[in-house]
């Protein structure tokens, strides 16, 4: 085997998705909706499948023409920059492949990549597989006051600045954040942007949950800040946008001078993505362009629905004595489990971190699947954050009720 596969073999999704399936657990683990996408996008997919021979054949390598056009039109408005559909966008197999192309195309041997923790776990192996070194800066719970919201986790400008060296190539951010739910405020993004401009760094901005903000939190695109368009790769996901994670359509948007390098990785690996799924996503964005800002927009309806589900899960956790950290955005809620009494006597897991052991116990013994939060931290910091678990709330109310029954019965 090649060296690049060494040290990146463990994967929390592979492990815990299998465990949930093996124990037929109520699944608040992996982040995907257990309900259908909205009808209009399902109809668009069916129409694409019935749309004639071309819908079943190859399309343009870097993105189906109708999709790149609709993405360019939609995001030109939100990023405040005229996006060129052919030069500035690459359509990929989910946000995963957009991230992979960004790392492969822009990170060289020995480059340092600053990753803000907690982080969606794949950033680390992707940085390493590109030959880079990952450097971590944790968001930390504010000292001195109760930590009730994801907004109480803050980034220290001094700590971030201290990690920048002449080898630093990029800073990776994720807003709204998985797993914490933090939605970065304008001032925080401006601080990161100032450092990127000052030190001539790239920014990889993972915005797959961009529509999902609650209680007035506002998603800001770092690419929209002065000097950032030409150095930011913004990553999105149709799976998260339209509740269709199995379609695996994603994209990277940036200046053509950057996207041209991602295209090289794409054309020499995947080459192009499923045509009918791209056609359907294109229809979705065309519809949303017309409805944007109205109550009929799915980008309004989905967060409104999730706002209720977030409340429902939070009340359930509170009723059994678990204090959730209220997410300002995204699909997930984390909670401290250090006060939960449980008997972790499973010999097979005794060398694992506390949250990994706890989640395995909860899945096997109680039939409730969640995800351990230390999986979203570097080895250096995971010990400090091994008393939290992550719940996903993009689930049917019946699924959330089933989880509540489990929690209430044993507490």
Query: 65-79 and 275-291 helices cross at what angle (nearest 10)?
Result: 30
Q: Which stretch binds ligand PMP (CB under 6 A): 72-80, 92-100, 155-163, 376-384?
A: 92-100
Residue with smallest beta-carbon separation from ligand PMP: 94
Q: Site for ligand PMP (CB under 6 A): which residue of 208, 244, 262, 373?
A: 208
Residue 30 touches which of ligand GLN, ligand PMP, none (Cβ within 5-8 Å per kind): ligand GLN
Using the minimum distance from each CB to ligand GLN, give the nearer residue, 250 or 324: 250
Q: Which stretch binds ligand PMP (CB under 6 A): 43-51, 101-109, 235-243, 297-305?
A: 235-243
- 184 touches ligand PMP by CB under 6 A: no
Q: How far is CA 266 from CA 68, 93, 163, 203, in A?
A: 15, 10, 31, 20
Q: How far is the CB of 134 from ligand PMP (least distance, A)?
A: 16
Using the minimum distance from each CB to ligand GLN, give the nearer residue, 30 or 224: 30
CB 85 within 8 A of CB 58: no
Q: Which stretch binds ligand PMP (CB under 6 A): 90-98, 104-112, 222-230, 262-270?
A: 90-98
Q: How far is the CB of 22 from ligand PMP (least distance, A)?
A: 22
Q: Which stretch binds ligand PMP (CB under 6 A): 137-145, 151-159, 193-201, 236-244?
A: 236-244
Using the minimum distance from each CB to ligand PMP, give the nearer residue, 243 or 287: 243
Residue 335 touches which of ligand GLN, ligand PMP, none (Cβ within 5-8 Å per kind): none
Question: Which structure tokens are listed for 82?
Answer: 């005229």
CB 233 within 8 A of CB 205: yes
The whole-angstrom separation of Cα 186 and Cα 228 is: 13
Q: How far is the CB of 96 from ligand PMP (least distance, A)?
A: 4
Q: Which stretch binds ligand PMP (CB under 6 A): 42-50, 94-102, 185-193, 297-305?
A: 94-102
The whole-angstrom separation of Cα 117 and Cα 177 is: 9
- 192 touches ligand PMP by CB under 6 A: no
Q: How far is the CB of 58 from ligand GLN (least distance, A)?
A: 27
What is the binding site for ligand GLN (CB under 6 A)? 13, 30-31, 178
Using the minimum distance from each CB to ligand GLN, give the nearer residue, 13 or 361: 13
Using the minimum distance from each CB to ligand PMP, give the nearer residue, 93 or 407: 93
Q: How far is the CB of 332 from ligand PMP (least distance, A)?
A: 8
Cis peptide before 268 (omega within 30 of 0): no
Using the minimum distance from each CB to ligand GLN, give the nearer residue, 275 or 363: 363
Q: Site for ligand PMP (CB under 6 A): which residue of 70, 149, 174, 275?
A: 174
Measure CA 185 to chain center: 17
Chain residues 108-167 in contact with ligand PMP, contact rule CB under 6 A: 120
Q: Which stretch binds ligand PMP (CB under 6 A): 183-191, 238-246, 299-307, 348-356?
A: 238-246
- 324 touches ligand PMP by CB under 6 A: no
SS3 per-residue string spanning the chain: CCHHHCCCCCCHHHHHHHHHHHCCCEECCCCCCCCCCCHHHHHHHHHHHCCCHHHHCCCCCCCCHHHHHHHHHHHHHHHCCCCCCCCCEEEECHHHHHHHHHHHHHCCCCCEEEEEECCCCCHHHHHHHCCCEEEEEECEECCCCCCCEHHHEECCHHHHHHCCCCCEEEEEEECCCCCCCCCCCHHHHHHHHHHHHHCCCEEEEECCCCCCECCCCCCCCHHHCCCCHHHEEEEEEHHHHCCCHHHCCEEEECCHHHHHHHHHHHHCCCCCCCHHHHHHHHHHHHHHHHHCCCCCCHHHHHHHHHHHHHHHHHHHHHHCCCCEEECCECCEEEEECCCCCCCCCCHHHCCCCHHHHHHHHHHHHHCEECEEHHHHCCCCCHHHHCCEEEEECCCCHHHHHHHHHHHHHHC
Residue 13 touches which of ligand PMP, ligand GLN, none (Cβ within 5-8 Å per kind): ligand GLN
Q: Site for ligand PMP (CB under 6 A): which residue of 94, 138, 181, 329?
A: 94
Size of the site for ligand PMP (CB under 6 A): 14
Residue 403 touches which of ligand GLN, ligand PMP, none (Cβ within 5-8 Å per kind): none
Contact residues: ligand PMP, CB under 6 A = 31, 94-96, 120, 174, 178, 206, 208, 237, 239-240, 245, 250
């Amino acid at each position: 085997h090649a060296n690049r596969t060494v040290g990146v073999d463990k994967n929390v999704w592979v492990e815990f998705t299998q465990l949930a399936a093996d124990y037929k657990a109520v699944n608040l683990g992996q982040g995907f909706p257990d309900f259908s996408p909205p009808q209009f996008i399902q109809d668009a997919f069916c129409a694409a499948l019935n749309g004639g021979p071309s819908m079943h054949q190859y399309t343009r390598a870097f993105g189906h023409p109708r999709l790149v056009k609709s993405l360019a039109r939609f995001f030109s408005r939100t990023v405040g920059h005229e996006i060129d559909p052919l030069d500035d966008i690459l359509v990929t197999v989910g946000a995963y492949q957009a991230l992979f192309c960004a790392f492969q195309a822009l990170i060289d041997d020995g480059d340092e990549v600053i990753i803000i923790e907690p982080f969606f776990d794949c950033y680390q192996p992707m940085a390493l597989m590109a030959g880079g070194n990952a450097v971590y800066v944790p968001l930390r719970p504010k000292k001195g006051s109760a930590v009730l919201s994801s907004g109480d986790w803050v980034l220290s400008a001094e700590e971030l600045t201290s990690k920048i060296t002449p080898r630093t190539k990029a800073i990776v951010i994720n807003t709204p954040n998985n797993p914490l739910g933090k939605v970065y405020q304008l001032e925080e993004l401006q601080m990161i942007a100032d450092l990127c401009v000052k030190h001539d760094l790239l920014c990889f901005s993972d915005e797959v949950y961009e529509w999902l903000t609650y209680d007035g939190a506002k998603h800001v695109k770092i690419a929209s800040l002065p000097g950032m368009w030409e150095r930011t790769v913004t990553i999105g996901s149709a799976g998260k946008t339209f509740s269709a994670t199995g379609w695996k359509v994603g994209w990277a948007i940036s200046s053509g001078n950057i996207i041209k390098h991602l295209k090289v990785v794409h054309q020499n690996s995947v080459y192009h993505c499923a045509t009918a799924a791209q056609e359907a996503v294109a229809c979705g964005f065309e519809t949303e362009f017309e409805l944007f800002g109205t109550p009929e927009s799915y980008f309004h309806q989905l967060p409104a629905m999730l706002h209720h589900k977030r409340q429902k899960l939070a009340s359930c956790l509170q009723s059994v004595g678990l204090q959730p950290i209220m997410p300002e955005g995204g699909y997930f809620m984390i909670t401290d489990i250090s006060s939960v009494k449980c008997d972790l006597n499973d010999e097979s897991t005794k060398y694992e971190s506390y949250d990994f052991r706890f989640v395995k116990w909860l899945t096997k013994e109680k039939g409730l699947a969640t995800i351990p939060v230390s999986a979203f931290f570097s080895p250096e910091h995971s010990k400090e954050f091994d008393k939290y678990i992550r719940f996903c709330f993009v689930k049917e109310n019946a699924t959330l009720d089933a989880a509540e029954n489990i929690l209430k019965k044993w507490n």
